[in-house]
Amino acid sequence: MSEPVPSREDGKWVLRSTVQALEGVGRFVIGLAADVKIVEGKKLVEYVRRYDKKWVQKI
């Protein structure tokens, strides 16, 4: 089984992948929120928003 490799597009790193669970990739996105843009993935966006509402906004 091969792993996806990020590619360079217009001077930016792009990773296209399918994930089985949102927790890992969601936490990665949250941890690098200033540097990451979700281009596709409605479920991932929803996960990040729920996480923000539940945990980040309580700080």
Mean residue pLDDT across the chain:
92
The tens digit of pLDDT for each residue in 1-59 reads 567 789 999 999 999 988 999 999 999 999 999 999 999 999 999 999 999 999 999 88
Residue-by-residue DSSP string for the chain: ------EEETTEEE-----S-HHHHHHHHHHTTTT----S-HHHHHHHHHHHHHTGGG-
> Is 35 a domain residue?
yes
> Is 33 a domain residue?
yes
Q: What is the pLDDT of residue 1?
A: 54
Range of the domain at 45: 19-58
> Is 6 a domain residue?
no
> Is 12 a domain residue?
no
> Is 3 a domain residue?
no
Overall domain count for the chain? 1
Q: What is the pLDDT of residue 2?
A: 66
The tens digit of pLDDT for each residue in 25-37 reads 999 999 999 999 9
> Is 25 a domain residue?
yes
